[in-house]
Amino acid sequence: MKKTRIIGTLCVAAVWLALTLGAWLDPAEEISVSERRKLAQLPSVSVKTVLDGRFMKDFESYTLDQFPLRDAFRQLKALVHYDLFGQKDNNGIYLADGSAAKLEYPLNEDSISHAVKKFDAIYRKYLEGTGSSVAVTVVPDKGYYLAEANGYPAMDYEKLFALVREGTSWAQFVDITDLLSTESYYATDTHWRQEQIVNVAQRLCEALGTTVPKAENYTAEEVEQPFYGVYSGQAAIPMDADIMYLLRSPILDGCTVYNHETGKTTPIYDLEKLGGWDLYEVYLSGAAALLTIENPQGDPDRELIVFRDSFGSSIVPLLLDGYSTVTVVDIRYLSSELLGNFVDFHGQDVLFLYSTLVLNSSSTIK
């Protein structure tokens, strides 16, 4: 019996030693694909960083990021968390109706107020008196359709919509909640699916009084690469990949997108991004402060300015039909105070399109 005990103890020690050797000897990874971030590297040592504790802090981050079989361990944690301990979410991500979503709770009224004040300031400074037709819409996050129905706490969405509507009384508020459902969003990602939002684009175009896009004018082209959205990495639970589609049309194929930061001109769908971490960046090349889209087949007398977050990337192409020029602005990356230096406001149609996710956490809006 004593021998068996010694063997048992040696087994425990062996597993410990194996993990230790892995931690010491495994070559460091550069990035985590599942989390879409760079991983911490071994920090350099100096007397200063040791004395002020920075080395220790950075070393701890390094050991966490470079632990052997890190993704497998994260998955093990998620499984124990959900299945053994019966927790309903893991790192704030929950699974319901086959879809992953983030707990967005509670409503942050100060944040909504901050965003609405910024919108109001933009209107007062650049749009008032120019004759622009202005519309505002709020894109509900997936939780609007998933949370309450599955017993998860949800923010007071109606109050959020009311606060935005009241704060932007100078614009036409376009409610799109009835046009969407859980299926309108990727199961593994926060964003909506382009092929599911033509009806939303139609309503927005109606509100702006421009050419309403016809669903039959688009061809859905399937993207070869499997799409593992941001939630699949955060939830750390194995999930089936989403299939991504790009809506093609002769008008869209003729459009060009100019990025004012990089000076590059790309097509509407930047296929190079399909080789990157986040396939959603294929739409208008992802996050960008200021874009100008030229549509040679659009009405030369009509232009549109869209203030948007990442949800705008996939819907803006569907709003193009009636416009010759569409300016796409992201005031998270470009201060609204400086907008006048880059954009000439002369009566274009204007759309504010923001998701509940950004509005409820709007400190990044400048």
Partner 1 sequence: MLFSSIPFLYYFLPVVLAVYFLVPRSWRNAVLLMASLVFYDWGEPRYLLLMVGTILVFYVCGLGVGRVKGAGQRKVLLILSLVIGLGLLAVFKYADFFVENFAAMTGLNLPLLKLALPIGISFYTFQCVSYVVDVYRGTVPAQRSPIAFGAYVALFPQLIAGPIVRYADIARELENRHAGWEDLQIGLRRFLVGLGKKILLANQLGELAGIYRASGEKSLVFCWMYAIAFSLQIYFDFSGYSDMAIGLGRILGFHFNENFNYPYLSKSVTEFWRRWHMSLGTWFRDYVYIPMGGSRVRRGRWVCNILTVWMLTGLWHGASWNFVVWGLFFGLLLMLEKWLKPERLPGLVRHGYVVLAVVISFVIFGGENLGQAWQDILGMFGAGGLPLMTVQTAYYLRSYAVILALSILGAAPLVRNLSNRIPEKIAVVLEPIAMIALLLVCSAYLVDGSFNPFLYFRF
Distance CA 80, CA 256 (A): 49
Return the SS3 of 21.
helix
Distances (CA, A) of 355 to 35, 142, 154: 22, 10, 15
For residue 240, give the nearest of 224, 228, 223, 225 by alpha carbon. Answer: 228
Could you say which of 29, 32, 67, 196 contacts partner 1 (CB under 8 A)? 67
What residues numbered 114-133 form the site for partner 1, per CB under 8 A?
Answer: none
- x-or-dash pattern for partner 1, window 324-343, by CB under 8 A? --------------------
As measured in angstroms, the least distance from the Cβ of 143 to partner 1 is 13
Pairing of strands 31-32, 245-248: unpaired
As measured in angstroms, the least distance from the Cβ of 365 to partner 1 is 23
Number of residues that bind partner 1 (CB under 8 A): 49
As measured in angstroms, the least distance from the Cβ of 240 to partner 1 is 22
Could you say which of 28, 45, 80, 215 contacts partner 1 (CB under 8 A)? 80
Distances (CA, A) of 255 to 217, 248, 268, 295: 15, 11, 7, 5
215 interacts with partner 1 by CB under 8 A: no
Pairing of strands 323-329, 290-294: antiparallel
40 interacts with partner 1 by CB under 8 A: no
As measured in angstroms, the least distance from the Cβ of 251 to partner 1 is 46
- Strand residues in the chain grouped as ranges (E): 31-32, 37-38, 93-96, 99-102, 134-139, 172-174, 219-222, 245-248, 256-259, 265-266, 290-294, 299-308, 323-329, 349-355
96 interacts with partner 1 by CB under 8 A: no
Pick between residue 21 and residue 215 the one whose CB is nearest to partner 1: 21
33 interacts with partner 1 by CB under 8 A: no
Q: Which residues bind partner 1 (CB under 8 A)?
A: 1-2, 4-6, 8-9, 11-13, 15-17, 19-20, 23-24, 50-53, 56, 59-60, 63-64, 67, 70, 73-74, 76-78, 80, 84-89, 91, 105-106, 148, 151-154, 236
